[in-house]
């Protein structure tokens, strides 16, 4: 009987603690929700962004009408790499200054070396993408380019595969057999 009293008291105390916790949790949760908007950035004005200049020049090399001055493009590159260095978590993982600084210099050099005083936005994005391909991050886009080489994982419990300069192979009785297709796709 004494054991049941102790168990009953323990259950009552545990229930009271749980109820108290839920009340505090709900109170704090409602406070957090009400304060949430205070911590959001206000994006109601984009005047400080770099402009994209619509070119109507008949001599413009752009197929589309969007171009940007080389000075603004260079400014944009400096700003991009400042953001990457101080705000991108993959900066050090993908080589830090030793890979990003040469990429930035190559982009700026390519922009300056292009003809005319303006550069097509599409060409500008192509240059940036070509220099930042070392970043393998599927969350990172440059224009319509995703900076990630996707791969698919295949396995077999029956065969062990190896890779050489020809492709993927398995050995059966010491003789290599190369994998030609997986689900009608090249491996």
pLDDT digits (tens, 9 = 90+) for 116-147: 888 988 899 999 999 999 999 888 888 888 88
31 pLDDT above the threshold of 80: no
Q: Report the distance separating Cα 11 and Cα 1, nearest Å.
A: 15
Count the neighbouring beta carbons within 10 Å of the beta carbon of residue 133.
14
Q: Report the distance separating Cα 4 and Cα 9, nearest Å.
A: 8
Closest listed residue to residue 74, CA positions, set 58, 50, 90, 56: 50
Q: Report the distance separating Cα 121 and Cα 73, nearest Å.
A: 9
Mean pLDDT, the chain, integer: 82
Sheet holding 66-69, edge to edge: 53-54, 66-69, 118-120
107 compared with 52, residue with greater pLDDT: 107
């Amino acid at each position: 009987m004494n054991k049941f009293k102790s168990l009953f008291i323990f259950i009552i105390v545990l229930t009271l603690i749980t109820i108290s916790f839920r009340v505090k949790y709900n109170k704090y949760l409602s406070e957090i929700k009400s304060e949430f908007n205070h911590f959001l950035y206000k994006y109601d004005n984009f005047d400080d962004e770099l402009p994209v200049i619509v070119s109507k020049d008949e001599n413009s090399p752009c197929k589309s009408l969007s171009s940007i001055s080389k000075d603004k493009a260079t400014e944009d590159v400096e700003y991009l790499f400042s953001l990457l260095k101080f705000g991108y978590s993959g900066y050090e993982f993908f080589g830090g200054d030793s890979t990003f600084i040469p990429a930035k210099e190559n982009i700026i050099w390519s922009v300056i070396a292009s003809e005319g005083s303006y550069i097509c936005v599409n060409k500008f994005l192509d240059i940036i993408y070509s220099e930042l391909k070392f970043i393998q991050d599927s969350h990172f886009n440059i224009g319509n380019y995703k900076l990630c080489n996707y791969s698919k994982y295949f396995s077999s419990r029956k065969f062990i595969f190896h890779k050489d300069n020809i492709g993927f192979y398995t050995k059966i009785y010491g003789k290599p057999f190369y994998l030609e297709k997986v689900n009608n796709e090249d491996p």
